Amino acid sequence: AALNDGLRSQVSAALKEGRVSPTELCQRCLALIKSTKFLNAYITVVEETALKQAEESEERYKRGQPLGILDGVPITVKDNFNTAGIETTCASNMLKGYISPYNATVVQKLLDQGAVLLGKTNLDEFAMGSGSTDGVFGPVRNPWSYSKQYKEKSVPKSHSEDEESNWVITGGSSGGSAAAVSSFTCFAALGSDTGGSTRNPAAHCGVVGLKPTYGLISRHGLIPLVNSMDVPGILTRCVDDAAVLLGSLAGHDPKDSTTIQDDFKPFELPNLTDVSKLSIGIPKEYHAPGLSSEILALWSKAADLFKNAGAKVVEVSLPHTRYSIVCYHVLCTAEVASNMARFDGLEYGHRSDMKDSTESMYAATRREGFNDVVRGRILSGNYFLLKQNYEKYFVKAQKVRRLIANDFVKVFRSGVDILLTPTTLSDAAPYTEFIQEDNRTRSAQDDILTQAANMAGLPAINVPTALSERGLPVGLQFIGRSFQEKQLLTVAKWFEKQVQFPMIQLEEVKRHDSDVFQHQKSASFS
């Protein structure tokens, strides 16, 4: 099997038939991780345990008893998910050295199905950010920065300037996971999505990023940011793979009382050929200020694609869209203020040497452990939660949240099945440019198209669509009805097939897996 193969259709068959072994796959990925170290996508790599898991998987295949499609498949997990016996840092000094005593439910589920955990990926500190640039382990580099496609299009400013300063960000906060999937070092990765943290880096790294409906997948063991919006996110190279992952993760968890109790039935995606019964909504407010003309054109082209194929394409309105980001800002900081209160140095994590009093120890620990972004959100959140501000900000934001959620309800009730929007305002920015604005400003700008789905709890997916003029990936987003992931993914898969997004041409990958390029698609959407 080649690193670019789909899980259900190719990898699983290859493993069952013995054409490739789990150990081989694992070793290939580990070698690639080493040669792409400059991407800084991984915080921890667990080579020994991964190889051991691969060996155990191999035994199962030899006995003809694999646990499922994921048996033997190398995966990675964002470093804000607890993984038993493995350091979980959230890219923060606060949790450096913290060894999780348990597995997050989603991690346990993957392991129970024989998946091989390669390591933990890099992120913005405590998942706060939209660049994967603000963690203590440094920024993650977008693999596309080193692609033939990007290098061909970039004009060096002076011949002494090398590609070192030209690299672009992955987006965030699940940048490490997106980069890992994009550079073929794993077949799938878990991210988290609170305001777009899975879809944003997916768009910038040219991979599929799925945000499931809130309540579908357990958050137990996912270190919380915003309890009412967080969801585990799925990053894969194709929509079919996302469906496979979804099937293995979704379902009620008694340890997370915010998961719905309905039975979840894993599904295979049909190959949709007739879209004439589909109604696609184009929310006009998503033509947001700052949207690049390139992406606007792509969005329009995508709408035409559906129209020409016979689908009904209508313009719709989500009138409260522009307040969504403000509302998110208040609710997010308020919940963060509460969630970050657990970090006091007593039971786990960093602890200051300060001994004068409990409170001074807590204060010193938190001052030493948190970066500016985290501290800023905690302080803002506490401000909005002050007695004199509670009604004006927090309760007000909760009311606006209902209005935003209702906007979506109205649109879906009017007969629209799926919404089509851009995922990001532009393609990935160079790191040097990105860091010129502060984290809060950037997040406010970059989350604008993604976070309303978190406010309303709806499922949403980024599908890589085309390359920009700079040779970088651009994705489009589909938003579906609550718990209608099958319909959402079916449409996404149809779209994916139409656009034939090109594969990244990375020197490092070519060296390790010459088969990878045999599936090169020649047609492309742009």
- Give catalytic residue positions: 78, 173, 197
Nearest approach in angstroms of CB 394 to another protein is 8
* Long-range pairs, 67-70, Cβ under 8 A, ≥24: 67/112, 67/113, 67/114, 68/113, 68/114, 68/248, 69/7, 69/8, 69/11, 69/12, 69/113, 69/244, 69/248, 70/7, 70/110, 70/113, 70/114, 70/115, 70/244, 70/245, 70/248
- Is there a contact between 212 and 192 (Cβ–Cβ < 8 Å)? no
Both structure tokens of 434 = 């990105």
Residues making contact with another protein (CB under 8 A): 98-99, 101-102, 214-215, 228, 254, 257-261, 320, 323, 326-327, 329-330, 333, 337, 344-349, 351, 354-363, 366-367, 370, 372, 375-376, 378-380, 382-384, 386, 392-393, 395-403, 405, 438, 440, 444, 455-457, 482
Minimum CB distance to another protein, residue 260 (Å):
5
Token output for 376: 């800023």
Residue 173, preceding peptide bond in cis (omega within 30° of 0): yes
Task: Give the nearest distance from C-beta 88 to another protein in angstroms.
Answer: 10
Q: How far is the CB of 375 from another protein (least distance, A)?
A: 5
CB of 229: closest distance to another protein in angstroms? 8
CB nearer to another protein: pick between 221 and 475: 221
Residue 66 or 349 having the CB closest to another protein? 349
The residue type of 390 is: Y
Question: Token digits for 463?
Answer: 């599908």
Q: Which is nearer to another protein, 297 or 395 (CB)?
A: 395
Question: Which residue, 98 or 264, is less far from another protein as judged by CB?
Answer: 98
Q: Which is nearer to another protein, 23 or 228 (CB)?
A: 228
* CB burial readout 495-508, b (16+ within 10 A) else e: bbebbebbbbbbeb
**Identity of the residue, 296 or 348, whose beta carbon is nearer to another protein in the bound complex:** 348
Integer Cα distance of 14 and 220 in angstroms: 33
For the CB of residue 216, give the shortest distance to another protein in the complex, in Å. 10
DSSP 242-272: HHHHHHHHBS-BTTBTTS--S-----PPP--
Going edge to edge, which strands form the sheet with 208-211?
A: 42-45, 116-121, 74-78, 188-193, 231-236, 208-211, 460-467, 473-479, 418-422, 279-283, 312-316
**Beta strand ranges found along 52-198 (DSSP E):** 74-78, 116-121, 188-193
